[in-house]
Amino acid sequence: MTQRPHRRDFLKTSTAAMAGATLPYWFTTESNRALGFQSVNDRPVLGCIGTGDRWNAVGPNALHLSDCVAVCDVDSDHLEKGFKRVTDIQKSRARDVEKYEDYRKLLDRKDIDVVTIVTPDHWHSKIAIDAMRAGKDVYCEKPLTLTIQEGKQIIKVLNETKRVFQVGTQQRSEMSAGPIKNQFLKAVAIARSGRLGDIKKVTCAIGGAPSSGEIPKADVPQNLNWDMWLGQAPMTDYLQGGFGNNKNYPESRTHYEFRWWYEYSGGKMTDWGAHHVDIAMWALGMDNSGPISVEGTAKHPVPFENGMPTVSNRYNAATEFLVTAKFATGAELIIRHDTDNGVLIEGTKGRIFVSRGKLSGAPVEELADNPLPEDLLKELYKGKTPTGSGNAHMENFFNCVKDRGLPVSDVYSHHRAMTTCHLANIAIRLGRKIEWNPESEQIVNDKDAAPWIGREQRKGYEIDVSV
């Protein structure tokens, strides 16, 4: 890599850095949100790729810890809104901010240390791989991948480039339930500590997905580069209808509604599965392994043939589903659309339920007299102390940018969680049981299903990584 030496490499050896070695060099002790900094030149330099709706919950968190010099989006309206928000936040920092439509121009800049990637799902992997190869550390929104193959490609490039990479599954760091802090981390610790006995079953309730009526063909808005928005996905008509399930966006293939098309996402299975299945795999101790079989049933809003939708102008991702993943240990992971949103963990000695608003069960009540050991929480949090801060996930990323440690939501464990979700989608689309070898990471005993771990990519937008 030709990137210049990092300021942090110099600062690691300085007397000041040694004096405050327990904190990143751009932190002060005044705020858990790390709003202070020693000088503008100490802070990492940030580029933001994708400045749409979700970026409003990601970008400002990163801006508390870095200085942004570039924003990028293929929708010029989103680009202008992102630019305005960055400049408003940074108005006292005297930073020039450039705007780009093509993310590659942003990655060409040698002054940028880190990037946030907040794009539709089908763009995550290629941009992340290009960013790592350009010498950038990466914070990328979930779900990280569109296919199992993409996860393997990202891991290969991550191992080659040694970049720091945090996935935006914030439940590993935050999402507090009232006075309970780090409730998902605590739920995993309860399960991993043996207080539930042998874990036999984990149920993830992630909610269903919307359907749509026929969405008419429309002219591509002048503010949108439709070809680049599609990226690796097949070229198709631009569609736009009225407002259906979402009061903020009309029914379409783009922006928030891309989630309900298999061309660009995995539907609810990956959108919320990326959160709850991740916690389930963590609790099972399977965050670096996987199931041996996956099967289930689903309701799709359009007819399918050989796993592919036969209607092109209506949402096609599953609206309802019930999936069972089985592990070599005998444990089961259930993914369903109904029941209360959250994760139910059941063992031979007890059970607990955790969600973004709750952590309950007799083993939770027992924490008052028998608290979890701090060293276990720290071990699960990849060697760092969880803070319970509202910006803890981003803080964890920037801590790791400084010390080159492994973030709490690392690519390796996320890839395994997403593999389970992708296998679930393959099973319900093909309508049969899928057998999986978690060591070789291949579908076995089904030559027709085996190629489904990847997919064809449109010419000019391929991911150039052999695995």
Determine the pLDDT at residue 17: 34
At CB < 8 A and 24+ separation, what contacts does 251-258 make?
251/212, 251/213, 251/215, 251/315, 252/215, 254/120, 254/224, 254/229, 255/52, 255/53, 255/75, 256/53, 257/315, 258/120, 258/121, 258/122
The token pair that represents 453 in the structure block: 């771990």
Q: Write the single-letter amino acid at 352.
A: I
**Mean of the per-residue pLDDT values of the chain:** 91
Whether residue 420 lies inside any domain: the answer is yes
- Are 320 and 449 found together in one domain? yes
Asked whether 187 and 359 are in contact (CB, 8 A), the reply is yes
Question: Under DSSP, is residue 399 helix (H, G, I), strand (E, B) or coil?
Answer: helix
Digit-coded pLDDT (tens) for 436-464: 999 999 999 999 999 999 999 999 999 99
- How many other CB atoms are found less than 10 A from the CB of residue 418? 30
Determine the pLDDT at residue 29: 35
- Are 263 and 129 found together in one domain? no
Asked whether 288 and 393 are in contact (CB, 8 A), the reply is no
Provide the percentage of residues in the chain whose pLDDT is more than 90. 87
**Rounded distance between C-alpha atoms, residue 319 and residue 331, angstroms:** 26
| Domain extent for 424 | 202-341+413-453
- Mean pLDDT of the region 287-292: 96
Domain at 68, CATH number: 3.40.50.720
What's CA 119's distance to the chain center, in Å?
11
- Are 405 and 417 found together in one domain? no
pLDDT band at 41; cut points 50, 70, 90: low
Whether residue 348 lies inside any domain: the answer is no
- Are 314 and 448 found together in one domain? yes
- pLDDT at 23 > cutoff 80: no
- Are 433 and 403 found together in one domain? no
Whether residue 180 lies inside any domain: the answer is no
Digit-coded pLDDT (tens) for 92-123: 887 899 999 999 999 999 999 999 999 999 99
- pLDDT at 9 > cutoff 90: no
Give the residue from 219, 169, 238 showing the smallest Cα distance to 397. Answer: 169
Whether residue 83 lies inside any domain: the answer is yes
Whether residue 229 lies inside any domain: the answer is yes
- Are 437 and 402 found together in one domain? no
Whether residue 375 lies inside any domain: the answer is no
Determine the pLDDT at residue 39: 54
- pLDDT at 21 > cutoff 60: no
**Rounded distance between C-alpha atoms, residue 57 and residue 118, angstroms:** 10
- Mean pLDDT of the region 410-436: 98
Whether residue 433 lies inside any domain: the answer is yes
Determine the pLDDT at residue 10: 32
- Are 229 and 115 found together in one domain? no
pLDDT band at 25; cut points 50, 70, 90: very low
- Are 129 and 225 found together in one domain? no
- pLDDT at 429 > cutoff 50: yes
Asked whether 361 and 343 are in contact (CB, 8 A), the reply is no
What are the angstrom distances between the C-alpha of 188 and each of 193, 279, 283, 378? 8, 7, 5, 12
Domain at 308, CATH number: 3.30.360
What are the angstrom distances between the C-alpha of 179 and each of 94, 169, 182, 343, 354? 39, 21, 10, 19, 14
Tally of domains in the chain: 2
Whether residue 442 lies inside any domain: the answer is yes
Determine the pLDDT at residue 27: 40
- pLDDT at 26 > cutoff 70: no
Q: Where are the alpha helices (DSSP H) in 32-120?
A: 59-63, 76-89, 103-107
Asked whether 418 and 143 are in contact (CB, 8 A), the reply is yes
Dihedral sign for Cα atoms in the order 221, 227, 232, 236: positive
Question: Under DSSP, is residue 422 helix (H, G, I), strand (E, B) or coil?
Answer: helix
- Mean pLDDT of the region 324-334: 98
Determine the pLDDT at residue 94: 72
Cα angle vertex 233, ends 229, 235, to 5°? 80
- pLDDT at 257 > cutoff 60: yes
Backbone φ and ψ for 359, nearest 5 degrees, come out as -140, 110
- Are 166 and 224 found together in one domain? no
- pLDDT at 35 > cutoff 50: no
- Are 327 and 433 found together in one domain? yes
Digit-coded pLDDT (tens) for 156-203: 999 999 999 999 999 999 876 666 789 999 999 999 999 999 999 999
- Are 447 and 298 found together in one domain? yes
- pLDDT at 426 > cutoff 90: yes
Determine the pLDDT at residue 180: 74
- Are 133 and 252 found together in one domain? no
The whole-model pTM stands at 0.91
Backbone φ and ψ for 234, nearest 5 degrees, come out as -60, 145
